[in-house]
Amino acid sequence: MSVVAGSVGASTASLRRARVMGILFLLVGVLIVLVFGLGSEGGVVSRLGLNPARAETLFRLPDLVLPARSTAFLLGAVCAFLGGVQLSRGFERRVNLVIAIVLVLFVFAFLTWAARDRSLSLLGMLQSTLLRSVPITFGALSGVLCERAGVINIAIEGMLLTSAFTASVAASLTDSLWIGLLSGAIVGGLVAGLLALLAIRYQVDQIVAGTVINILALGLTSYLTDQFLQRNQELNNPGRFQNVPIPGLSDVPILGPVAFDQNVLVYLMMAIVAASFFGLFYTRWGLRVRAVGEHPKAADTVGIRVLFTRYRNVILGGVVAGIGGAYFSLGAVGRFEEGMTAGRGFIGLAAMIFGRWNPIGAFAAALIFGFADSLQVKLNILRVGIPSEFLAMAPYLVTILIVAGAAHRVRPPAADGKPYLKE
């Protein structure tokens, strides 16, 4: 009898969750209709731009011109419909996809409302989403490489910062962006070497070691900036990598200008995402790395060098973070500024968790953070009536929400953060 009670107890919990989801979809639909629909004056249109700023493109798309009010009504109705289906029939396993769809619909409805009676370059937003996700992706990949081998890396922020500084100075001194990039990568690797030494050799608590490195990086770069760069501006004037459109691909509508008309660091990021994904899950190298991160003793007994693997991966992770750091000074801003990474390393860490320690997942998560970031900038420009200070909190708020929601459902590598002791 109680057998039945037990299994019923388990299924009522999931049933309740399914119901909550359905109600949530319904509420989102109602919200869209009430706020964005009734909040828009009748007859007003929103213009969403789909073309790049530069004039000459092979295919020119017409701008998306939408009646603000009826668009909101339509989108709200779709959300409500999805909620109804979820409540009556249930999407079961595909519910996560539906959550994503509802989220996208909500955001789109919001943008249409925000752009009512004005025009907003949707393409520009997508471009800046990708750009803002670049350093986060590099940070997340750095974390993936370290943690898949079993070393927690919360020093990503510090690595980004030191290499951003180094890349700027080296490029200014040598007048070569490439040497700047290389120096940034090397310094990232060196900082990671310090983390590896503390974590692997001396078995310092890895959170503490990472925190120390972050503080060191912030202090050191700020001090050096104050002491030298302020007075010698020529040391901090590296220039920037220019965009290199990829012939053919860059003319594809929407995707072309977003993904294939970028600077070399963005392409490098995409290459590293792909390489680390295939490397981790389809090669001998990756199988061994993951074995070390999951069950180092098992790896040891079949002859895999656990400590070597960890040193190598942490340093590799440092190099990747170093390239990400160089992006700040050489890819985005064109100079080094104190504390310019502004927590992007930590957001990268969140992207890694949300992306389930998978490079592609991490990249997708970084895009969400990048979108939140670019959204707040756009809203600031559109003056939607929310103080800019609050808008600037958007990416961090999204981080907290996502990590809080995802943290208990994802499983890190089993030996993550645990030093390996040979008896």
Partner 1 sequence: MRLQLKGVTKRFPGLVANDSVDLTVAEGEIHALLGENGAGKTTLMNIVYGLYRADGGEILLDGSPVHFGSPRHAIGAGLGMVHQHFMLVPVFTVTENVMLGIESTRRFGFLDRREAAQRVREISQRYGLEVPPDAVVEELPVGVQQRVEILKALYREAQILILDEPTAVLTPQETEDLFEVMRSLQEAGKSIIFITHKLKEVLAIADRITVMSRGRVVGTTTPGETSEEELAAMMVGRAVRLRVDKAPADTRGPVLEVLDVVVLDDRGQVAVDGVSLTVQAGEIVCVAGVQGNGQTELVEAVTGLRPIASGSIRLLGRDVTGASPRGFLRAGVGHVPEDRQRDGLVLDFSIADNLVLNTHGSAPFARWIVRDDEAIRAAAQERVAAFDIRTLSVEQPVATLSGGNQQKVIIGREFSRPIRLLVASQPTRGLDVGSIEYIHERLVEKRDQGAAVLIVSVELDEVLALADRIAVMYRGKILNILPADTAEPERIGLLMAGSLGEGEGPGG
Measured CA to CA, the distance from residue 92 to residue 18 in angstroms comes to 8
User: By C-beta, is 220 or 304 nearer to partner 1?
Assistant: 304
Over the range 93-106, which residues count as b (16 or more CB within 10 Å of their CB) and which as e? eebeebbeebeebb
Closest CA to 265 of 372, 160, 380, 400: 160
Provide the minimum distance between the beta carbon of 359 and partner 1 in the complex, in angstroms, as a whole number: 16
> 290 vs 378, which CB is nearer to partner 1?
290
Residue 150 CB, nearest approach to partner 1 (Å): 12
CB closer to partner 1 out of 7 and 233? 7
Q: Which is nearer to partner 1, 196 or 299 (CB)?
A: 299
Tell me the closest approach of the beta carbon of residue 2 to partner 1, in angstroms.
3
* Distance of closest approach, residue 285 Cβ to partner 1, in angstroms: 6
- Residues counted in the chain: 423
Taking the complex as a whole, how short is the minimal distance between the CB of residue 319 and partner 1, in angstroms? 19
**47 or 356, CB closer to partner 1?**
356
Q: How far is the CB of 39 from partner 1 (least distance, A)?
A: 42
**Closer CB to partner 1, residue 33 or residue 299?**
299
User: Is residue 325 within 8 Å of 341, Cβ to Cβ?
Assistant: yes
CB of 36 to partner 1, least distance (A): 39
Comparing CB distances to partner 1, the nearer of 294 and 337 is: 294
Q: Which helix (H) or strand (E) holds 244?
A: strand 244-245
One-letter amino acid of 146: C
Nearer to partner 1, 148 or 335 (CB): 148
Q: Is the CB of residue 350 less than 8 Å from the CB of residue 403?
A: yes
CA angle 71, 259, 322 (to 5 degrees): 125
Which stretches of the chain bind partner 1, using CB under 8 A? 1-3, 5-7, 9-10, 13, 278, 282-285, 287-288, 290-291, 294-295, 297-304, 414, 423
The DSSP-derived string for 153-176 is: ---HHHHHHHHHHHHHHHHHHHT-
Q: In sequence order, what DSSP letters do the residues of 192-213 get, joined into one string?
A: HHHHHIIIIIS---HHHHHHHH
Q: How far apart are the first and last CA of the chain?
A: 50
Rounded to the nearest whole angstrom, what is the least distance from the CB of residue 284 to partner 1 in the complex? 4
| Distances in whole angstroms, Cα of residue 397 to Cα of each of 106, 156, 404 | 17, 20, 11
**Residue 56, Ramachandran bin (φ over 0: left; ψ between -120 and 50: alpha; else beta):** beta
Tell me the closest approach of the beta carbon of residue 158 to partner 1, in angstroms: 30
d(CA 62, CA 189): 47
CB of 301 to partner 1, least distance (A): 5
Please list, in sequence order, all residues whose beta carbon lies within 8 angstroms of the beta carbon of residue 376, skipping any fewer than 6 positions away.
391, 392, 393, 394, 395
Q: Which is nearer to partner 1, 113 or 311 (CB)?
A: 311
* CB closer to partner 1 out of 13 and 407: 13
- Type and span of the H or E element at 114: helix 95-114
Distance of alpha carbon 6 from alpha carbon 2, whole angstroms: 6
